[in-house]
Amino acid sequence: MITTNKPYAVGIDIGGTNTVFGIVDARGSVISSSSIKTQKYLDVNDYVEDLHKELSKLIEEVGGADKIKGIGVGAPNGNYYTGNIEFAPNLPWKGVIPLAEMLTKKFGITVNLTNDANAAAIGEMTYGAARGMKDFIMITLGTGVGSGIVINGQLVYGHDGFAGELGHVIVRKPNGRACGCGRNGCLEAYASATGVARTAREFLEIRKEASLLRQIPNNEITSKDVYEAAVAGDALAQEIFQYTGTILGEAFADFVAFSAPEAIILFGGLSRAGDMIMDPIVDAMERNILNIWKGKIKVIFSELKESDAAVLGASALGWEAK
Amino acid sequence: MITTNKPYAVGIDIGGTNTVFGIVDARGSVISSSSIKTQKYLDVNDYVEDLHKELSKLIEEVGGADKIKGIGVGAPNGNYYTGNIEFAPNLPWKGVIPLAEMLTKKFGITVNLTNDANAAAIGEMTYGAARGMKDFIMITLGTGVGSGIVINGQLVYGHDGFAGELGHVIVRKPNGRACGCGRNGCLEAYASATGVARTAREFLEIRKEASLLRQIPNNEITSKDVYEAAVAGDALAQEIFQYTGTILGEAFADFVAFSAPEAIILFGGLSRAGDMIMDPIVDAMERNILNIWKGKIKVIFSELKESDAAVLGASALGWEAK
């Protein structure tokens, strides 16, 4: 066991809906965690204030800031090089937010920040399904669709720190769905939780058959409703997963042409749908992939608990603090 | 200057149409080169026989095999890990060809082999427009469309040696053009030399206006004819480059979302079209790229002579021989 007078790191995972944070020990156990609602804070200063208040409680429980080696943050559009969140379409704060600097000042602890999906990929590589892999792609299916790409055992940050925005690859043109990023046809507009809900609304409008989903007011349907209806045997709901998985699988065939990963790892809410989403993904990927890769690329689910992966991944950046 | 009793390396660039090879000295000068027609050899044994005959002449001129440190080969679908060419859609030889092994036996010199586009990228990084860049994508526009991807200063080979097949990203679906790889809608089916000729035939059939291209029998039109007509001011020919560049630029916007390169570098026949191809590429890329990258990604032409880049790049693998 590693012994040190700073035996803990903090991991913070900022999602479009929730921010989850936790204290991680040197063995990689999340020893305490909590969360706040990201969506609630229109002003990032209020957000930092409340995050500080709630996280400080956990820090005090383990003996105070002196016991923390560093804080790692995973955030949408987080830039590893600058510590800024820049133009994140799914967060309430617009423009460039110097979050690492703001948190460092507030906590008096060094803060490292990266893309939330990159943080999850680091977590998966260290503790999960990607242990021992040098080339893989992590796809996070949450409020948005994110990705963390590992090549030669290294996270791909790109020349500017923003690489791995595979949720914003254009999968439908022309006339693709409007995306939060301001463009049309992005993978995220179809394969995110909100994308699935949108598919449900479109299907219900166009189609005439009965569905459990018709019991829910159209504009209140969530991806969770679609999941529950599909599990209950609702054919239309199952078809929504078929449609979503097909779009993902087609996109994966193109991702493989880029980096020839050993595996694509699925993480986040939508992956709870299990075979209902996995089967159409694999079918579509295999139908669309270049011959040399047919039957050779694994698509697997994350082996980490959803909250843990991102917090553990982010905390790995915390350990790197100097 | 490096002195050694093996002062030369050989670079061999295998294209769908021609195979170019040369002797390179330690300063990176191509001191002699020649070529044979790849297309002519339906049997790879005949090809190796003739390549050996022609290349041996150059090797004898510099003092024989004892003076050669190694042979590097750039070939479509060339696998760096195995030394095989595997299922190359644009070569006459089908299946798995153990070319590195065949050439090693024939010449008695160590042979390293990679993708032709990877070889060109190494050449560009060492001697050309990518000097000093750690993250860039090389796009080769020849008989096919290839790519060499550099991330963190390293060529991306992927888990199996086949990464970087960006010519086979699907850019048009459904009902995209048939591609030599057996699928439909690949970038290569539109942006290769044969893709441009095919666009010309389609445009001439659908459209009614006059064009210099109508003087050429429809099935004999080449991309060179389209280029010459466009330079002569032919509006239809210019529109063909506009169409081709737009498809490339849309694809580039997606490539940037993957690896956030500092630059995309164009290499090969089609890049001779200069602004006629560059302007629509940049327009389409900028229209389709995620906000965070607008105006920030360079698209530039290779700074190496077309034959030299691939031969120099391949020869760099020759120097690595042990």
pLDDT, tens only, B9-45: 999 999 888 999 999 998 788 999 999 999 999 999 9
Complex ipTM? 0.87
Q: Chain A residues contacting B, CB < 8 Å?
A: 77, 86-87, 133-135, 149, 151-152, 154, 156-166, 168-170, 173, 181-183, 250, 253-255, 257-262, 288, 290-293, 296
At residue B61, does pLDDT exceed 60? yes
Which chain B residues are closer than 8 Å to A163 by Cβ? 135, 151, 258-260
Q: How confident is the model at residue A313 (pLDDT cuts 50, 70, 90)?
A: confident
The residues pairing with A184 across neighbouring beta strands, listed in sequence order, are A178
DSSP state of A177: P
In a 10 Å sphere around its CB, with 0-12 CB exposed, 13-18 middle and 19+ buried, how is residue B233 labelled? Answer: exposed
Cα A157 to Cα A126, A164, B264: the distances in Å are: 18, 7, 16
The pLDDT tens digits for A284-312 are 999 999 998 999 999 999 988 776 777 88
Which chain A residues are closer than 8 Å to B288 by Cβ? 170, 183
| Helix residue ranges per DSSP H, chain A | 44-61, 99-107, 116-127, 188-191, 193-206, 223-231, 235-259, 275-288, 306-319
* A87 phi and psi angles, rounded to 5 deg: 55, 50
The pLDDT tens digits for A158-212 are 999 999 999 999 999 889 999 988 999 999 999 999 999 999 999 999 999 999 9
* A74 phi and psi angles, rounded to 5 deg: -105, 125
A163:B260 CB<8 A: yes
B159:A134 CB<8 A: yes
Average pLDDT, chain A: 93
A259:B156 CB<8 A: yes
Express as a percent the part of chain A with pLDDT over 90: 79
What pLDDT is recorded for position A307? 65
Indicate left, alpha or beta for A134 from its phi (over 0: left) and psi (-120 to 50: alpha): alpha
At residue A3, does pLDDT exceed 60? no
Q: Which two tokens stand for residue B184?
A: 């439909």
Which residues, in sequence order, are CB contacts of B111 under 8 Å at separation 6+? B70, B71, B72, B73, B83, B99, B100, B101, B103, B104, B321
Distance, in Å, from the CA atom of A315 to the CA atom of A27, rounded to the nearest integer, reads 12
B293-302 core/surface letters (b: 16 or more CB in 10 A; e: else): beeebebeeb
Range among A55-59, B92-96, B174-178 rated most confident: A55-59
Distance, in Å, from the CA atom of B20 to the CA atom of B11, rounded to the nearest integer, reads 8
- Residue type, position A202, single letter: E
Of A59-63, B115-119, B303-307, the poorest mean pLDDT is in B303-307
Express as a percent the part of chain A with pLDDT over 70: 98
At residue A111, does pLDDT exceed 70? yes
Contact between residue B237 and residue B212 where contact means Cβ atoms under 8 Å apart: yes
Average pLDDT over residues B232-237: 97
At residue A1, does pLDDT exceed 60? no
Which chain A residues are closer than 8 Å to B173 by Cβ? 250
Instruction: Tell me, rounded to whole angstroms, the distance of Cα A87 from its chain centroid.
Output: 17
CA distance A23 to chain B (A): 32
Q: Chain B residues contacting A, CB < 8 Å?
A: 77, 86-87, 133-135, 149, 151-152, 154, 156-166, 168-170, 173, 181-183, 250, 253-255, 257-262, 288, 290-293, 296
At residue B1, does pLDDT exceed 60? no
B162:A253 CB<8 A: no
At residue A2, does pLDDT exceed 70? no
Q: Most A CBs within 10 Å: which of B151, B252, B289, as the mutation test of the A interface?
A: B151
Average pLDDT over residues B168-195: 95
Q: What is the C-alpha R_g of chain B?
A: 20
Of A64-73, A159-168, B1-10, B197-206, the poorest mean pLDDT is in B1-10
Which chain A residues are closer than 8 Å to B262 by Cβ? 159
End-to-end C-alpha distance for chain A, whole angstroms: 20
